[in-house]
Structure 1
């Protein structure tokens, strides 16, 4: 059954929907990660400019400059984490494409000897691992993001008074989809 045909049976439709749901979750979460990564990059650049300004205005011993360096370091760690997650997500999306290609041919013609149910289980398992990593990233990073951006916003207010930007009002949502 299913060895030489791809007839749209109830099981095949269910497995197709499972794989499609996994791909949709990965793509949506990839967009969120890209937004967080871009936000972190922008805040790192902003923090570096403000740090240089703080050290030039307040001198080499500037407490504000040191606080900015710590915030930049924290955001740099976030950027590294999100970049790693994006790489992992990209690899998983590539693997999903290969699984989908295998699922599109009858089981007897597949290069991997796996049933549609097994392919769907692999997709769910791998997607679950990525989602767990995203949940940990979200829970561990949110306080650091808030603290770092508050430091940068405060420094901007001190150094640029009337022309300060408040990025804290536009923090990335980290609204990862888990289902």
Structure 2
């Protein structure tokens, strides 16, 4: 604990959720080096005052500085990290369909918590997010005009061309072949 003064135990973290901006300020305060003593002192004072202001605002006007997570379990950084890991898996494996059950096993999280937490942090369901990634990549591939519609459907892991065409039209309002023309 002596080497990292801004680490908190789980109980404290749950009571006082630290949002990304506050965490960033704490990190900057820890890493304020490379300046003259005077400038470093000024920077540390400025960051400390900024942190104090945010802390006072969070007490005086709750839920405006750092939003309280929609799901209580998201107050824990470890749980938010698991959601982030799931998002990263989806980002890298968008061409390989993955079930929520498989995804929850990979990140070691309850399926229900994964679904609720993912929606709370991204604003989209896991399926919506995955579909959006696939359609976005499909647009790129089709605009490049190096692949046919059936190639793109296969590359992105759609079960059939008709399923791909339906999903593409629903998301973009266009038929996939219209981007080829």
User: What's the TM-score, normalizing by structure 2?
Assistant: 0.22
User: What's the TM-score, normalizing by structure 1?
Assistant: 0.22
Q: Which structure exhibits the higher relative contact order, with contacts defined as CA atoms closer than 8 Å and separated by 6 or more residues?
A: 1
Structure whose residues are more often helix by fraction: 1
